[in-house]
Chain A
Amino acid sequence: MKTKLFLFFLTIGITSFGQVTITDNFSLKNVDGRMVSLGDFPMAKGFVVIFTCNHCPFAKLYPKRLNDLNEKYTKLGVPIIAISSMDTISYEEDTYLKMIQKAKKEHFNFPYLYDPTQEVAKLFHAQKTPHAFIIWRDGEHFNIVYNGAIDDNGMHPNEVENPYISMALDELLEGKTVSNPETITIGCQIYFRE
């Protein structure tokens, strides 16, 4: 398990072009007990931020694919960060302790962060698990350049026709803009406490 400390310096805003920009700061606790933020990654070109959880059957389809994505793209300067913002009162399976067990069992090679106040999910407007975002560095802040599904076939990894995250990252790493910046994601809804 990588235990790099990340420093997030993020808030959310919308530029005049309608692009969502993250400029606020927050830090979240990783399953290894350390607070994690983006700032410790000064060399990162961007991040894949995945809102996921323990209980959702759809999220359960993806651990191997996430490990593979992180293995490939961390080396290229785009690490994965997984965040669980599920309401642990409604879903006991999503408590911090169970997250630790899950990360061990699935051999997560990326940080799995706990968002107990659900503030980070609200910043991203994350709605489901899994719900993927790519944020790309633009000077001092990050722009959300992709919002949606990890790929187009949760159930059958061998039948994936469009690996959306990989496709977007490959375009970004070639200096292009993402041609398919928004896709529909199926999963479990994140219910926000009032």
Chain B
Amino acid sequence: MRNLKSTVFLVLSSVLLVLNSHAQNLPIWQQEKELATALKSNSARVIMTHYFATWCKPCMEELPVFDSLNQLNKENVLIQFVSLDLKNNRHLKKKIQRLNLPGNCFYLEPNASIMKDSSFNWDGTLPFTVMYFSTTETSIELAGKHTLQDYLKLMNNNEN
């Protein structure tokens, strides 16, 4: 009986350990699934997916723009972040948490498979942003760093 209890305890501990270690990582980005979820659960007219990495200086410089965008357009815009950092671990998760991003952050391993699988025309440049306009069902892909004005202008021009 004691043996059985010990075994159960060990199994439960292992399961908790595994669950805990997963919780220490960012969720893996699944483009189709997350876009569909965002469309279903949110009335936002613009869904922005922003690909960045914490090692990428222009990416980090651009991040405050998304705070402003979120403040200005909370009702209309949903922003999702995708980190292409080298390792998805608790250090990355902590780093991302400290950034206080105005949206969920996922992880995508930056290797060749993302180029093969991606449905957009990405040339490998970071930051990279995809703006999806739900009313017109169209999207725009933007490589490199952009300003708040750039994004606002694109929204005005593409929402109708």
Contacts and interface: CB of A to CB of B under 8 A. Distances in A.
A39 interface: no
A189 B112 contact: no
B57 interface: yes
Interface string A143-163: 000000100111110010110
Given A56-B55, A155-B111, A186-B126, 12 more contacts: A57-B53, A127-B123, A149-B112, A153-B112, A155-B86, A155-B109, A184-B115, A186-B124, A187-B124, A188-B55, A189-B126, A191-B58
A192 interface: no
B144 A189 contact: yes
B56 interface: yes
Interface string A79-108: 000000000001100000000000000000
B110 A189 contact: no
Nearest to A186: B124
A54 interface: no
A76 B87 CA distance: 37
Interface of A: 56-58, 90-91, 127-128, 149, 152-156, 159, 161-162, 184-189, 191
- Give the interface centre of A152, A155, A184, A191 by most chain B CB atoms within 10 Å: A184
B29 interface: no
Interface of B: 53, 55-58, 84, 86, 109-112, 115, 122-126, 144
B110 A186 contact: yes
Contacts of B122: 184
B111 A154 contact: yes
B56 A188 contact: yes
Contacts of A91: 57
B117 to A, nearest CB: 13
19 contacts: A56-B55, A57-B53, A90-B57, A127-B123, A127-B125, A152-B111, A152-B112, A153-B111, A155-B86, A155-B109, A156-B111, A184-B123, A186-B84, A186-B126, A188-B57, A189-B56, A189-B58, A189-B125, A189-B126
Contacts of B109: 155
A129 to B, nearest CB: 11
A90 B86 CA distance: 22
Contacts of B53: 57
